[in-house]
Amino acid sequence: MAKLVLNIDGIEDDFFTGARMLGIMSQTKNFRFCWLVNTHLHVDFRLNADAEIQLNKKGRNYFFEVYQFCEPGCETEHYIYHNQFEGEHLLPEFKHFDFLWLAKSANLNDEDFLLLQQNLKKINGVQLVTELTPEKIKNKTNLIF
């Protein structure tokens, strides 16, 4: 019998095409953080229960919430991942980040992305915002829902 193997390289390439990421440090609770982002940036992030990521580690299930916002009138999608659940991390290589922001667009330019970073830094409770390059992300498949 032939053994079938799922090729996740193609899935990763498709998912991350046109994507840019930010790592965010903030001790704010996830729902409060999204409320602050919505209020200060005039966006409408909502919890996407269908995109919640479940990882099984050490014989236990861990659930990582994903919030989503689609910019009206363009193809840009934004996702905020909560990087922690009961001591485990969605991206263990970035344990110091509480949230991960993924922006997907065919036309997200450097100026807009820099402006996003600067505006996030102005939110009360946000301690650090930095761009994460795809080469630094070891567990990309953990972000795919």
Q: What is the CATH number of the domain that holds 50?
A: 3.30.310
Range of the domain at 30: 17-143
Burial 110-122 (b: 16+ CB within 10 A, else e): eeeeeebeeebee
Q: Does 5 have pLDDT greater than 90? A: no
pLDDT in tens, 97-125: 999 999 998 788 899 899 999 999 999 99
Report yes or no on 134 lying in a domain.
yes
In the chain, pLDDT over 90 holds for what percent of residues? 63
CB 100 within 8 Å of CB 24: yes
Mean pLDDT of 49-64: 91
Report yes or no on 3 lying in a domain.
no
Looking at the structure of the chain, the number of domains it has is 1
Radius of gyration of the chain (CA): 16
3-state secondary structure 48-83: CHHHCEEEEECCEEEEECEEEEECCCCCCEEEEEEC
Report yes or no on 34 lying in a domain.
yes
Selected residue with higher pLDDT from 142 and 54? 54
Report yes or no on 42 lying in a domain.
yes
Residue 33: predicted pLDDT: 97
The pTM for the full model equals 0.87
Mean pLDDT of 133-145: 83
Report yes or no on 137 lying in a domain.
yes
Report yes or no on 54 lying in a domain.
yes
Residue 139: predicted pLDDT: 86
Query: Where does the pLDDT of residue 141 fall: very low under 50, low under 70, confident under 90, or very high at 90 and above?
Result: confident
CB 87 within 8 Å of CB 64: no
Report yes or no on 7 lying in a domain.
no
Q: Does 10 have pLDDT greater than 70? A: no
Report yes or no on 9 lying in a domain.
no
Q: Which of 20-29, 91-100, 134-143 has the lowest mean pLDDT?
A: 134-143
Helix, strand and coil percent figures for the chain, each rounded to 5: 30, 35, 35
